Amino acid sequence: MKYSILIILSVLLFTSCEKLLDEKPQSIAAEQFYNNAAEVQAGLNAIYTPIRAGGTLGALYQIQQEIYTEYMYGRGSHAPLNDYAGLDNNNITRIADMWAAFYEAIRNANIVIQKIPVGKNLSDADKSQFMAEARYLRGLLYFYLVRNWAGVPLRTENNMEARDLPRASKDAVYQLITDDLLFAEINLPDAGRLVGAPSKWAAKTVLADVYMNRNDYQKARDKALEVIQSGKFSLVNVTVSADFDKLFGPDIITTPEEIFYLKFSRQPVGQGFQYPMYTHYPGSGYYPPGGYYTLYSDAVNNTFVKNWDKNDLRYNYNWYVQTFGLGPSTILNKKFSDRTTTTAAGNDYPMYRYADLLLFYAECDSRVNNGPTTDAMEKLNMIHRRAYGKNPMVADATVDFKLADYGSLPAFIDLVVKERAYEDCSEGKHWLDMKRLGIAKEVIKAMKGITVADKHLLWPIPTTEYNYNKAIDPIKDQNPGY
């Protein structure tokens, strides 16, 4: 049994306020709740509930992001995503549900932020730490929104009752994100209150990602370096491909590589990770309850996969052959597998791990110095050595990249991006990486021969939002092409 924030969430929700299970924390009378540490923690845990659902970061968000990559294809109702022309009715509905879930979680965060200062039985230390966690999560949620929709309405603790809010500019959204994360960085503890709750190092890591998306590579490098120099994290060693289960397996509670993960468990009911249900084929053995095999690749006809070095342990860990009418070279992804479950998957979702942070640093350090440095190459090689079963901390001439072979900034950035794609395969991160770098259209054209429509780079503001929010015009304020 994995004990972490999701287990405590279930206990606190039942013991403190059953209404939170209905995801309506706004119905709780202020004078009766948020007055002691246990009640505030129940409110904090409620922030996670909407984004852990199968329609968001429990499954469908990653599915959508992965199908967009150059190495994956969608099947069934997700097949239209392969056209890169926008979204059909099915997928627009899914996107609208994600929007609603992100904003529900933001509202839950805003309630906690609003109520903490007037809590009657809270110490100042508790107030600071709990406020920091709520603001960390709110900043992170807006970071997901701004990268997928651009400017969005800014709903905070100060306008919770306002219905009509215009789309804020991207700059304004990023300002709120940065303010929240900087507050969290100062006030979060060295270790989260529970496994699965953020620490100040998680705040620094997300800040590094945010600064990268704002092209502020000096600040991004500095934040990443602070995390590295803390000595709090290390890569999980592997010697054979199956050892990656020490990092992604369903029975793992936490690892030295975990910076911030969404936590899942087979029990209690309803707390499982649903992503494996979408990735696996029924009877494959990787997920006994079944599978929709919603996304797939091709080991021969997809150039990215074909060129992936088969000595890289990540290749064998990620892929298995499974034919279902599309040819003998069809492969499915098995990064997240739970071979023994009879109910739900126990794997956690790695939103940020130390490997991500090292690759952030490698890119940013090279950009700050207008070319790769010995330190940047070393951080990249740590990831690469681990991929071949080597000790990440020991130089190995048989697998290490050589600085002389990647002397220019573009050549090194390309190498980092490729390594990041291998490392984060099936984690829903690579498409956002390509959009940030401005190479999404170029890469998809080269790998899949498809021209990506400009409209496909953003998701549409949902009908449900502008039908409710009259400050958003469905034509003038909609993202281009929708």
Question: Does residue 159 belong to any structural domain of this protein?
Answer: yes
Rounded CA separation 63/97 (Å): 14
Please give the DSSP secondary-structure letter assigned to residue 318.
H
b or e along 5-15 (b: 16 or more beta carbons within 10 Å of the residue's beta carbon)?
bbbbbbebbee
Summarised one tens digit per residue, pLDDT across range 330-389 is 999 999 999 999 999 999 999 999 999 999 999 999 999 999 999 999 999 999 999 999
The residue-averaged pLDDT of 245-250 equals 97
pLDDT for 33: 82
pLDDT for 4: 59
Rounded CA separation 404/422 (Å): 22
Burial class (CB in 10 A: 0-12, 13-18, 19+), 289: middle
Whether the per-residue pLDDT at 17 is higher than 70: the answer is no
The residue-averaged pLDDT of 399-404 equals 97
Maximum distance among all Cα pairs of the chain, rounded to whole angstroms = 66
**Tokens representing 339?**
């071979």
pLDDT for 54: 97
Question: Does residue 335 belong to any structural domain of this protein?
Answer: no
When pLDDT is cut at 50, 70 and 90, the band that residue 29 belongs to is low
Rounded CA separation 379/228 (Å): 10
Whether the per-residue pLDDT at 114 is higher than 90: the answer is yes
Q: How far is CA 382 from CA 55, 282, 359, in A?
A: 35, 36, 10
Residue whose tokens read 């100042």:
124
pLDDT for 269: 86
Summarised one tens digit per residue, pLDDT across range 432-443 is 999 999 999 999
For residue 11, what is the domain's CATH number? 1.25.40.890
Question: Does residue 395 belong to any structural domain of this protein?
Answer: no
pTM of the predicted protein model = 0.94
CB 274 within 8 A of CB 54: yes
Bridge partners, residue 330, by sequence: 298
Please give the DSSP secondary-structure letter assigned to residue 194.
S
When pLDDT is cut at 50, 70 and 90, the band that residue 192 belongs to is very high
CB 203 within 8 A of CB 185: yes
Whether the per-residue pLDDT at 8 is higher than 80: the answer is no
pLDDT for 31: 54
3-class secondary structure, 350? strand
Question: Does residue 101 belong to any structural domain of this protein?
Answer: yes
| C-alpha radius of gyration, the chain, whole number | 22
Q: How far is CA 207 from CA 92, 172, 184, in A?
A: 30, 16, 10
Residue 297 φ/ψ, nearest 5 degrees: -140, -170
The residue-averaged pLDDT of 32-38 equals 87
Whether the per-residue pLDDT at 295 is higher than 60: the answer is yes
Question: Does residue 261 belong to any structural domain of this protein?
Answer: no
Q: For residue 60, give every residue at least 6 positions away whose Cβ sits within 8 Å of its Cβ, in sequence order, or none.
A: 54, 94, 97, 98, 278
Summary mean pLDDT of the chain: 93
b or e along 314-338 (b: 16 or more beta carbons within 10 Å of the residue's beta carbon)?
bbebbbbebeeeeeeebbbbbbbbb
Helix (H) / strand (E) element for 349: namely strand 349-353
* Number of Cβ atoms within 10 Å of the Cβ of 174: 20
**Tokens representing 242?**
């199956």
Please give the DSSP secondary-structure letter assigned to residue 120.
T
Q: With the C-alpha atoms ordered 72, 78, 79, 83, is the resulting torsion angle positive or negative?
A: negative
The residue-averaged pLDDT of 282-310 equals 97
Question: Does residue 52 belong to any structural domain of this protein?
Answer: yes
pLDDT for 296: 98
Question: Does residue 20 belong to any structural domain of this protein?
Answer: yes
Domains in the chain: how many in total? 1
pLDDT for 26: 43
The residue-averaged pLDDT of 457-463 equals 97
When pLDDT is cut at 50, 70 and 90, the band that residue 32 belongs to is low
Domain residues for 160? 1-71+91-198+467-482
Q: Percent of the chain scored above 70 by pLDDT?
A: 93
Question: Does residue 167 belong to any structural domain of this protein?
Answer: yes
Whether the per-residue pLDDT at 23 is higher than 50: the answer is no
* Number of Cβ atoms within 10 Å of the Cβ of 299: 17
The residue-averaged pLDDT of 172-178 equals 98
DSSP string over 362-397:
HHHHHHHTTS--HHHHHHHHHHHHHHTTS-TTS--T
Rounded CA separation 271/267 (Å): 6
pLDDT for 5: 59
